[in-house]
Each structure stands twice: as C-alpha cells, then as structure tokens.
Chains A and B, each alone.
Chain A
Amino acid sequence: AQKITQTQPGMFVQEKEAVTLDCTYDTSDPSYGLFWYKQPSSGEMIFLIYQGSYDQQNATEGRYSLNFQKARKSANLVISASQLGDSAMYFCAMRDLQGAQKLVFGQGTRLTINP
C-alpha cells in the first residue's frame, strides 16, 4: 500500500526566507506521480506542483520547486522567497498511475509566514 509521511506538523518562517517542507513516500509501484497541494484557511485545495516518477529533472512552478530524490523516496517542496500569502496547510500526495488512480495524502504541514 502507498503511504505518504509529512513529519513537520507546523513550521514558522520569516517572510522572504526560503522554506523546505518534507515529504517521504512508500510504494512498490514503479510508476507513480507526486503532488503538492496548498490549502489556505478558506478551505480549497490548490494544486502547486507535480513530479512523475520517471521524470529526470526536478519539477519547478514559479516560486515552487520539488526536490525529488527517488532512491531516498523523498519529494520535498521548496518555496523560495516566502510571502505572507503562503501561510496555509500544505499536503504532499501520490497517485498510482496504474491502479485505481486515487490520491493518497499525507497529514499535512501548517506553514506560517511571519512578517
């Protein structure tokens, strides 16, 4: 069974600093996708970034990058130059690309950006 582990329940960062949110995963499937979502206090789930298990390069989307280390089964999210609006819950998720295709989520990390 697939499993996502996010070991940081909460993080506090100063505005404009870079922040790394940790995510490790466990799967026996050779083909999978890794995702990060942001959930602000308003509740919606916002897609941030995607990494495929066969992608050779780390994914980047604007200020977001994914530090993908396949051998270590980690997929950490890096936010550069953090902003007050980055304060939110962040979820790491993975999807089995061959099976039922559901998303398996971690427990989330609550990020607070201090001015």
Chain B
Amino acid sequence: EAQVTQNPRYLITVTGKKLTVTCSQNMNHEYMSWYRQDPGLGLRQIYYSMNVEVTDKGDVPEGYKVSRKEKRNFPLILESPSPNQTSLYFCASSDAGSGRRNIQYFGAGTRLSVL
C-alpha cells in the first residue's frame, strides 16, 4: 500500500530535549515536505526537499532541521524544542513532473506538545 508514515503519532516532551520525528514514504517520490498546522494559522511549510541531499527552507524554518540522506526518509529534528513548537506536524511527498504527479500525499500527522 502506497503511504507516508510518520512516527510517533503523539509526543509530549519538555523544553530543550532534542527530538526527531521520522517520515518515510514508499512511493519513490522525489519531493518531500514538512508542514505544521496551528489554529487560526492553517498549514505552513517548514522545510522541503526536492531530492536526496537537496533541502531548502519553507515559510517557518526557525528551530527545525531536516536531512535527506535517503530518498524515502525525511526526518524532522527539533534540537531544542520550545513551547511555541507545540503543533500538529505533517510530512508530505509527491512525484516530480506535471499534472497529477504533483499531488502531495500526507502522513497521518504527529501531535507534539512541548511543556
């Protein structure tokens, strides 16, 4: 089954404790992206990657890191989480090219609470 898998689904942590949210896709997609969703602000892009070893900042990259060492994986790293990073996080992936190949498929989301 084609899917984007995020782990963990739920995470409660404390300020300053490094954490990683994993994302893996099995569709051989070139493009992967991280979004956060906050009430009243909608979904905003954090980082994206066009392919292995190619990453770039989105709209809200502060406080986050990413890496793309393998095509299927795109982990999101919070080196020193703060309460304002409490949010619902989504990983998404899509093919390159035109038309329906641009459809982004989302993981189930990770609910993060930073105390």
> Is A35 a contact partner of B56 (Cβ separation < 8 A)?
no
- B84-112 vs A, CB cutoff 8 Å, 1 = contact: the mask equals 00001010101000111011111111010
Residue contact A100 to B42, C-beta cutoff 8 Å: no
Interchain CB contact under 8 A, B90 and A45: yes
Q: A101-B31, A107-B42 are in contact. Are A47 and B48 (CB under 8 A)?
A: no
Nearest CB of B to A100, in Å: 7
Return B115 CB to nearest CB of chain A, in Å: 20
Least Cβ–Cβ distance between B78 and chain A, in angstroms:
19
B48 and A52 contacting across the interface, CB-CB below 8 Å: no
A residues apposed to B, CB below 8 Å: 33, 35, 37, 43-47, 50, 52, 91, 93, 95, 97, 100-103, 105-108
Q: Can you sample 24 A-B contacts with CB below 8 Å?
A: A35-B103, A35-B104, A43-B88, A43-B111, A44-B108, A45-B90, A47-B103, A47-B104, A47-B105, A50-B102, A52-B100, A97-B98, A97-B102, A100-B48, A100-B56, A101-B48, A101-B50, A102-B48, A102-B58, A102-B59, A103-B35, A103-B43, A103-B92, A107-B40
B residues engaging A (CB < 8 A)? Answer: 31, 33, 35, 40, 42-43, 45, 48, 50, 56, 58-59, 88, 90, 92, 94, 98-100, 102-109, 111
